């Protein structure tokens, strides 16, 4: 499993809530289990108590993205470090399930957690994955969607640090909104110019005519 996969854990958890739209899909143990993806063994540990615990971790992860989005890299790193200390993991070499064409294990790095509950396990891997992303790309590569009111989290892996939206859908929506705004501005300017011309014509004197 690639380490970048673990960073996506953090994004998926943060995006279960859309504060500006008053939406929250993290309302049941089933929703918690879905966040684990293919890790069914870890998902089975989840109980109703994890709903509240997951929401608490979600708030702390969103605070990291908010700090990074506002340009406060030190705060973002400090907040992430606090999660890493609270939810530690053990890096291990693993070759489970997948094998190369010659039958040997496909060795890769795996983050083994030793959780007391499902939330601890998820928070540990999500935080470590985010830490790998931050040290590889920089804290400024943690973003919040600029297509208001979305504000979903995303990981920017673009070559020129140009990503501003969480999805193609939001990018398209923002571009359409910007285009319509420009058209309205052009229309308002044209109307204003027309009114000015009319006023100037009406106030000329007979001599001037």
The answer to whether 2 and 88 have CB atoms below 8 angstroms apart is no
Q: Does 208 have pLDDT greater than 50?
A: no
What is the DSSP code string of 164-203?
--SSHHHHHHHHHHHHHHHHHHHHHHHHHHHHHHHHHHHT
β-pairing, 153-155 with 142-144? antiparallel
Average pLDDT over residues 7-22: 95
Work out the average pLDDT over 137-142. Answer: 94
CB neighbours of 10 closer than 8 A, spacing ≥ 6? 61, 64, 126, 127, 129, 130, 153
pLDDT of residue 2: 59
Confidence of residue 6 (pLDDT cuts 50, 70, 90): confident
Predicted confidence band of residue 201 (pLDDT cuts 50, 70, 90): very low
Lowest mean pLDDT among 51-60, 87-96, 190-199: 190-199
Q: What is the mean pLDDT of the chain?
A: 85
Rounded mean pLDDT, 140-158 = 93
Give pLDDT, residue 120.
92
Cis amide linkage into residue 149, ω under 30° from 0:
yes
The whole-number pLDDT of residue 99 equals: 64
Dist. CA 62–CA 5, nearest whole Å: 18
Query: Quick one: pLDDT band at residue 26, thresholds 50, 70, 90?
Result: very high
Q: Please give the pLDDT value at position 205.
A: 44
Instruction: Determine the pLDDT at residue 100.
Output: 60
Mean pLDDT to the nearest integer, 53-60? 98
Res. 199: pLDDT tops 60:
no
Backbone angles phi, psi at 12, to 5 degrees: -60, -40
**pLDDT > 70: what percent of the chain?**
83
pLDDT beyond 80 at 184: no
* Local confidence band at 1 (pLDDT 50, 70, 90 cut-offs): very low
What pLDDT score does 5 carry? 77
pLDDT of residue 138: 94
d(CA 51, CA 71): 31
Question: How many residues would you count in the chain?
Answer: 209
Written as one string, the DSSP assignment of 28-90 is SHHHHHHTTTT-HHHHTT--THHHHHHHHHHHHHHHHHHHHHTT-HHHHHHHHHHHHHHS-EE
């Amino acid at each position: 499993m690639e380490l970048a996969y673990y960073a996506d854990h953090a994004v998926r958890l943060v995006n279960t809530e859309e504060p500006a739209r008053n939406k929250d899909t993290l309302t049941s143990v089933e929703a918690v289990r879905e966040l684990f993806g293919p890790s069914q063994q870890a998902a089975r540990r989840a109980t109703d108590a994890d709903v509240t615990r997951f929401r608490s971790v979600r708030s702390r992860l969103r605070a990291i993205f908010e700090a990074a989005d506002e340009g406060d890299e030190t705060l973002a790193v400090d907040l992430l470090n606090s999660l890493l200390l609270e939810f530690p993991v053990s890096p291990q070499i693993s070759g489970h399930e997948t094998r190369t064409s010659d039958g040997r294990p496909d060795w890769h790095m795996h983050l083994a957690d030793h959780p007391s509950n499902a939330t601890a396990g998820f928070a540990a891997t999500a935080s470590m994955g985010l830490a790998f992303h931050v040290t590889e790309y920089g804290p400024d590569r943690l973003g919040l969607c600029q297509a208001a009111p979305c504000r979903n989290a995303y990981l920017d892996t673009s070559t020129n640090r140009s990503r501003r939206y969480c999805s193609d859908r939001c990018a398209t929506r923002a571009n359409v909104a910007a285009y319509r705004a420009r058209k309205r501005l052009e229309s308002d300017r044209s109307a204003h110019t027309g009114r000015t011309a009319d006023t100037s014509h009406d106030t000329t004197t007979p001599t001037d005519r």
